[in-house]
Amino acid sequence: MAHAKIEQVAFIGTGIMGAPIAGHILDAGYSLTVYNRTKDKAQELIDRGATWASSPAEAASKADVVFTMLGYPTDVEDVYLASDGLLKAAKKGAWLVDLTTSAPSLARDIHDAAEVLGMHAFDCPVTGGQAGAKAGTLTAIAGISEADAVAVAPVLATFTSKIFYFGSSGKGQTAKLCNQVSLASCMVGMADALALAQQSGLDVQQMLHMVGSGMGSSRALTELGPKAVEGDYRPGFLNEHMRKDISLALAEGQDMDLALPGAQTAYTLYDLLCQIKGARLGTQALALLYAEEADAVAAGLDWSVLDIEEEDEPEADHECSCDHKHTHEHCHNHTHGTHCHHHQH
Of 79 and 306, the one with the shorter C-beta distance to ligand NAP is 79
Using CB under 6 A, which of 20, 23, 85, 236 touches ligand NAP? 236
**Contact window for ligand NAP (CB under 6 A) among 46-54, 122-130, 294-302, 316-324:** 122-130
Using CB under 6 A, which of 9, 10, 16, 106 touches ligand NAP? 16
Contact between 328 and ligand NAP per CB under 6 A: no
Contact between 232 and ligand NAP per CB under 6 A: no
Cα–Cα distance measured from residue 276 to residue 268, given in angstroms and rounded to the nearest whole number? 13
**Contact window for ligand NAP (CB under 6 A) among 30-38, 59-67, 148-156, 195-203:** 30-38
Of 61 and 320, the one with the shorter C-beta distance to ligand NAP is 61
**Contact window for ligand NAP (CB under 6 A) among 71-79, 165-173, 205-213, 291-299:** 71-79
Please identify every residue annotated as catalytic: 176
Element spanning 93, H or E: none
Helices (H), the chain: 18-27, 43-47, 56-60, 73-81, 86-89, 104-116, 129-135, 153-156, 171-200, 204-212, 219, 225-230, 239-255, 261-273, 293-298, 304-312
23: CB partners within 8 A, 6+ apart: 44, 45, 48
Using CB under 6 A, which of 100, 173, 239, 268 touches ligand NAP? 100
> What letter represents residue 33's amino acid?
T
Contact between 58 and ligand NAP per CB under 6 A: no
Residues that bind ligand NAP (CB under 6 A): 12-18, 36-38, 41, 69-71, 75, 78-79, 100-101, 126-127, 129-130, 236-238, 241, 245
